[in-house]
Structure 1
Amino acid sequence: MAYQVLITEPVNEKGLDFLREQGYTLITGTGPDEETLLRECRDCDGALTRNGKFTQRVFEGCPKLKVVSMHGVGVDGIDVEAATNLGIQICNAAESNQKSVAEYAVGLILMLAKHSVVYNNGLKSGDMSVRNLYGNDVSGKTLGIIGMGNIGTQVARMACNGLGMKVIGYNRHITKKQKADFGYLTPDMDEVISSADFLSLHLPGNDKTRHTMDARRLALMKPSAFLINTGRGEVIDEAALIKTLQEGNLRGAALDVFEGNLPKADNPLLSMDNVIVTPHTAAFTTEALERMSYQAALGIVEVLEHRPVTYAVNKMKDSFEENKDIAAVMNFFRHEFNYN
């Protein structure tokens, strides 16, 4: 009998074709919410998801489930700890969108510096006075980066090697300044924030990073500086950012992400001339979406075919790694007989 894989939301066909080539049966889902997943994933061996709310309740209600693979990098909506305890592998598409998001962040830096959006809107509306607004070169300016993972590091190298910017990155894992091929790293986040002419955020969304950029840290930024966020919206205290911009204590911002996902229509950020907003689309290139779909599908195949997992999110406990079938049986009995 062929493995069944739930596709919770539409994705690029490249990954789906790969799953079909393995002989798997694909189940087209109707939504990522908990109740829908409990209903549609119950008899599935794997799931490929974009926004699925895979909670412990869902895992316990899906006794055949062996793997959930994320169409993207962040796994905010998945209870990874519960999955690990129940012997369920979580995968992602870790290398799918790094370059795409890095290019996007650099593009936002240039758009802010050159007033591209203001010029565009002014010319289209017939306001030639925008020609009196002068942009700035980015060469020689300082780019601060909070979050020196794969994306942050690529932004650093693009900015340094391609644009001639000075780069300083925050790294919490070091104890003193270190030279890098793009500039230097420091364990002092406040130093990065206060030094930056452009500050780019590349942090994951979790309890530890929530409101990293609060009122205190926003006050550290130069009034002439720009803030760029292509990471997670919750990293910024949005109310504090709005107040900082309204009071003229920050030159501008470019935001691809917001608190609570997309902003409401009355969000003041949407009407500020010095703020560029985009609807969480930094990773939405044709190439990145193909890679996301394929890498997410790859994780499912690797788990179901008992191969080494390329993009594993959780490290399985040895007992579950060696006895996934036993874990699945125990999960089944927990669900059917309320056994603890």
Structure 2
Amino acid sequence: MSYRVLITENIYEEGKEYLRSHGYELKMASDISENVLVEEVKDCDAILVRMANITEKIMKSGTKLKVVSKFGVGVDNIDVEAASSLGIRVTNSPESNKNSVAEYTMGLILLLAKKLLIYDRELRDGNFQIRKSFGMDLEGKTLGIIGVGSIGELVALKASKGFGMRVIGFKRNITSNQMDSIKLTGDLDYVLKNSDFVSLHVPLTGKTKGMIGKRELSLMKARAFLINTARGEVVDEDALLEALSQNKIAGAAIDVFKGEKPSKDNPIFKLENVIVTPHTAAHTEEAGIRMSVHPAIGIDEVLSGREPSWPVN
């Protein structure tokens, strides 16, 4: 029996080849709108999705559908609750991009600490005297990690072992308060108050949406920096804009924004104490290949009757 996989957006050839070599027929979606996917999923057994929203309506239309597998980690674009009620498995790829995001996070921290973009910009404008404005060393500084999953833990390892930073982490459910390279706490306020850099690594859920707001930002040191490579909706952008423009915190590096694609008129873009990037923390060739192959593996595991390596539900 041949199974058919609907791929909502293009992936690396390695992921497609994995599926073909295991006997799957591939169907590329013509568009990622709900109305189109509702029709195109009808004859498919699996969906491999990147950024498209996989709604209850789409999944109900897929009467043969058994699994939705995510290119990447965050599954906030998949109605997981609806999938569970329909008996559809959801898998993701948590191991695929963790090193890429962890390296990127450390890169952003270095850019902020060493003022590299400021030096570059000012020297290009003829301001050699910018060299009198000093950056800071990372050694001995405290990095606070909000969300200690696979990415957060790897950031902690790189920061502590590679740069001599002290690392503290916020985690809601703690089985042990000490992990390799990081001291854990269930007290978010403690992490915010005591960190020189705060890095966000939580998934977007009902509990994490807006978890960093005006109150939380007010707890941070005036010389502290915020780094967000998680999801834009985790941070109240208006509160962050106020904190940055009034120098209540020293600066921020933001890879993700509310609604995914920010407006070019976003007032945060006008601030000089902010580094912004277009959701590219996981954008390496190596991660792209893994993010293509791992969901393909998840599809094959489910359709072969095996427990998936990276289950979400």
Q: TM-score range by the shorter chain?
A: over 0.9
**Is residue 227–residue 253 contact of structure 2 (8 Å, CA) maintained in 1?**
yes
1:94-119 C-alpha deviation (Å, 9 max, x unpaired): 21011111111111111100011112
1:273-317 C-alpha deviation (Å, 9 max, x unpaired): 110000000011111110000001111111122223111111xxx
Pair 1:127 & 2:130 matched: no
Mapping of 1:161-176 within 5 angstroms? Answer: 161-174=161-174
How far apart are the structure 2 equivalents of 1:80 and 1:179?
31
Structure 1 stretch displaced more, 227-236 or 45-54: 45-54
Once the two structures are TM-superposed, the CA of residue 227 in structure 1 deviates from its matched residue by 0.5
How far apart are the structure 2 equivalents of 1:216 and 1:106?
26
1:41 aligned residue = 41
How far apart are the structure 2 equivalents of 1:221 and 1:40?
49
**Is residue 37–residue 58 contact of structure 2 (8 Å, CA) maintained in 1?**
yes
How far apart are the structure 1 equivalents of 2:16 and 2:293?
8
2:159 aligned residue = 159
2:195 aligned residue = 196
Pair 1:106 & 2:112 matched: no
Please tell me the residue identity of whatever aligns with 1:128: F
SS at match of 2:240: helix
How far apart are the structure 2 equivalents of 1:277 and 1:149?
24
1:20 aligned residue = 20
**Is residue 140–residue 165 contact of structure 2 (8 Å, CA) maintained in 1?**
yes
SS at match of 2:183: strand
Identical aligned pairs, as a percentage? 50
Please tell me the residue identity of whatever aligns with 2:75: V
Cα RMSD after superposing both structures: 1.4
Q: Mark the structure with the bigger radius of gyration.
A: 1
How far apart are the structure 2 equivalents of 1:59 and 1:142?
45
Once the two structures are TM-superposed, the CA of residue 183 in structure 1 deviates from its matched residue by 3.8
1:300 aligned residue = 299
How far apart are the structure 1 equivalents of 2:92 and 2:200?
21
Once the two structures are TM-superposed, the CA of residue 124 in structure 1 deviates from its matched residue by 2.9
How far apart are the structure 1 equivalents of 2:270 and 2:118?
13
How far apart are the structure 1 equivalents of 2:220 and 2:98?
26
Please tell me the residue identity of whatever aligns with 1:184: K
How far apart are the structure 2 equivalents of 1:126 and 1:36?
53
How far apart are the structure 1 equivalents of 2:125 and 2:71?
40
How far apart are the structure 1 equivalents of 2:182 and 2:174?
15
2:32 aligned residue = 32
Once the two structures are TM-superposed, the CA of residue 198 in structure 1 deviates from its matched residue by 0.5
Once the two structures are TM-superposed, the CA of residue 219 in structure 1 deviates from its matched residue by 0.3
Pair 1:272 & 2:267 matched: no
1:186 aligned residue = 185
How far apart are the structure 1 equivalents of 2:55 and 2:180?
41
Closer, same or farther: CA 128–30 of 1 in aligned 2, 3 Å: farther
How far apart are the structure 2 equivalents of 1:31 and 1:221?
43
How far apart are the structure 1 equivalents of 2:178 and 2:67?
40
Structure 1: give runs of 5+ residues left out of the alignment. Answer: 315-340
How far apart are the structure 2 equivalents of 1:31 and 1:119?
44
1:330 aligned residue = none
How far apart are the structure 2 equivalents of 1:151 and 1:59?
30
Once the two structures are TM-superposed, the CA of residue 127 in structure 1 deviates from its matched residue by 2.9
Once the two structures are TM-superposed, the CA of residue 129 in structure 1 deviates from its matched residue by 3.0
Q: Which aligned runs of 4 or more in structure 1 are off by greater than 4 angstroms?
A: none
Closer, same or farther: CA 32–224 of 1 in aligned 2, 3 Å: same
Once the two structures are TM-superposed, the CA of residue 137 in structure 1 deviates from its matched residue by 0.4
How far apart are the structure 1 equivalents of 2:213 and 2:68?
34
Once the two structures are TM-superposed, the CA of residue 178 in structure 1 deviates from its matched residue by 2.7
| TM-score (structure 1 length as normaliser) | 0.89
How far apart are the structure 2 equivalents of 1:308 and 1:238?
39
How far apart are the structure 1 equivalents of 2:302 and 2:180?
37
Mapping of 1:1-340 within 5 angstroms? Answer: 1-174=1-174, 178-314=177-313
Please tell me the residue identity of whatever aligns with 2:197: F
Once the two structures are TM-superposed, the CA of residue 206 in structure 1 deviates from its matched residue by 1.5
Once the two structures are TM-superposed, the CA of residue 192 in structure 1 deviates from its matched residue by 0.3
Please tell me the residue identity of whatever aligns with 2:186: P
Please tell me the residue identity of whatever aligns with 1:11: I
Once the two structures are TM-superposed, the CA of residue 132 in structure 1 deviates from its matched residue by 2.2
SS at match of 2:109: helix
Length, aligned pairs only: 313
How far apart are the structure 2 equivalents of 1:86 and 1:181?
39
How far apart are the structure 2 equivalents of 1:178 and 1:311?
25
Structure 1 stretch displaced more, 259-268 or 220-229: 259-268
Please tell me the residue identity of whatever aligns with 1:237: D
**Is residue 142–residue 166 contact of structure 2 (8 Å, CA) maintained in 1?**
yes
1:181-215 C-alpha deviation (Å, 9 max, x unpaired): 31411111101000011111111111111111110
**Is residue 94–residue 150 contact of structure 2 (8 Å, CA) maintained in 1?**
no
Please tell me the residue identity of whatever aligns with 1:246: S
